[in-house]
Amino acid sequence: MDAIDVIITKRDGGELSTEQIRWTIDAYTRGAIAEEQMSSLAMAILLRGMTRREIADWTQAMIDSGERMDWSMLERPTADKHSTGGVGDKITLPLAPLVAACGAYVPQLSGRGLGHTGGTLDKLESIPGWRADLTNAEMLAVIREAGAVVCAAGGGLAPADKKLYALRDVTGTVESIPLIASSIMSKKIAEGTGSLVLDVKVGSGAFMKTTETARELARTMVELGTDAGVRTVALLTAMDRPLGLAVGNALEVAEAVEVLSGGGPADVVELTLRLAREMLEAAGVPGAKDPERALADGSAMDAWRRMIIAQGGDPDAPLPAAPETLEITAGSSGVLATLDAYAVGVAAWRLGAGRARKEDPVSPGAGITLHAKPGDKVEPGRPLMTLHADDPSRFPRAQEALRDAWTIADAPADLLPLVIDRVT
Ligand code: URA
């Protein structure tokens, strides 16, 4: 077999055989297919698409490129959640300990942010001492201690995806439903969770800009999970505006802690509770505790503290704060009609909350605090948001990103409902 045949088959709209797919993923992982050849194939897949069988084979080949974790020794059902990524999406932080407090085990492998979207590991790393890199034995010890663990995927898990994702990121081939679905699901199936709830974001701040494409991605992933024996459900949720009031690493940890303390913004609380109920149902936890009660009685907060401490973090340490702030005020009075998630995400990224290249550090304190959300009344001169950065030279480019980020009108605009649809 050779890479050129595979590329030409897909370029011309053909269907790749199981054998071709297995050979391609194996050869690429071993370094026997050049990056430029894989880049060309990824572009052909993006433009031509894949059949359901091809996506299933591609996903299986990526799982088989590495190790598969196994949690069958645990006495409680396992549940995980995966978000396709957005702006201000800190839901994993309160959700993992909350679901643990309700009776499931949550073994969650998370990622770092890239571009305008935030990453769960970057957020948690703003907690002094907290460690993302754990061995499998350490993961098990944290689960036994806290009921939940959130950490980085080791190099042995779906290594083909690790390589391919880095390549797609710099070749304009991220936004392909077959490639996104196989990338996410290969990692989640290899992670060994018994059940999975997918939070597929829709809107300007998400990979999927429309409900139709998000639904197709959700359906593809649910089928892949179900066929692999993982009970999988997907929610389509709004990402046309940021989630919550905090965007940026330490700022989002603080907001997550507010939720665990029984407060926090209404949309973050609502989505956390909804996803917790979906996870408990998918996991099939007998006699699961009601998530609302676990937030109110402090048991979710206890699980959070145990999880942070078990991963070397200090839950009582002050979170890093950026030394420079800049307030942005409304220019007129009315209702904040829209607030574009993508623009806010790009601004937070430029302030230092995200990275331009994989190896760049992030600034833990950088980001944006929102003082108004769509639907809120605003007055001229009243603050709309506060920008946080380590260096004031970051402000002008962030302000540039925000130039057309919101509209003020007489009445609220039609926004997406927080939970748009459920796909099973
Ligand atoms: N997240 C992933 O893990 N892979 C993708 O392709 C897109 C988002």
pLDDT confidence of residue 314: 98
pLDDT confidence of residue 208: 93
Amino acid at 16: L
Q: Which of 177, 63, 68, 165 is nearest to 111 (CA)?
A: 165
Decide if 371 is catalytic: no
| From 22, 82, 123, 241, active-site residue | 82
Complex ipTM more than 0.90, yes or no? yes
Q: 308 Cβ partners below 8 Å, 6+ apart? A: 124, 127, 130, 314, 315
pLDDT confidence of residue 238: 98
Please work out whether the CB of residue 198 comes within 6 Å of at least one atom of ligand 1: no
- Which stretches of the chain score pLDDT less than 50? none
Q: Kindly compute the dihedral angle of the four CA atoms of residues 137, 140, 142, 145, in this order, to the nearest 10 degrees.
A: -130
What's the CA angle centered on 412, arms 408 and 418, to 5 degrees?
Answer: 120
Could you give the CA distance from residue 246 to residue 369 in angstroms, rounded to a whole number? 5
User: Which atom of ligand 1 is the closest one to the Cα of 111?
Assistant: 3
Q: Decide if domain 324-409 falls under CATH 3.40.50.300.
A: no
Please work out whether the CB of residue 183 comes within 6 Å of at least one atom of ligand 1: yes
Please work out whether the CB of residue 117 comes within 6 Å of at least one atom of ligand 1: no
Decide if 82 is catalytic: yes
Cα of 258 vs centre of ligand 1, distance in Å, is 29
pLDDT confidence of residue 359: 75
pLDDT confidence of residue 185: 97
Could you give the CA distance from residue 240 to residue 236 in angstroms, rounded to a whole number? 12
pLDDT confidence of residue 48: 98
Burial of 281 (0-12, 13-18, 19+ CB in 10 A): middle
Fold topology of 79-310: Pyrimidine Nucleoside Phosphorylase; Chain A, domain 2 (3.40.1030)
What's the CA angle centered on 167, arms 161 and 172, to 5 degrees?
Answer: 120
pLDDT confidence of residue 181: 97
Domain locations in the chain as residue ranges: 3-49, 79-310, 324-409
Q: Decide if domain 3-49 falls under CATH 1.10.12.10.
A: no
pLDDT confidence of residue 169: 82
pLDDT confidence of residue 175: 87
User: Which atom of ligand 1 is the closest one to the Cα of 184?
Assistant: 3
Please work out whether the CB of residue 184 comes within 6 Å of at least one atom of ligand 1: yes
Cα of 206 vs centre of ligand 1, distance in Å, is 11
* Per-residue model confidence as pLDDT tens digits over 41-59: 999 999 999 999 999 999 9
Could you give the CA distance from residue 111 to residue 379 in angstroms, rounded to a whole number? 39
pLDDT confidence of residue 351: 97
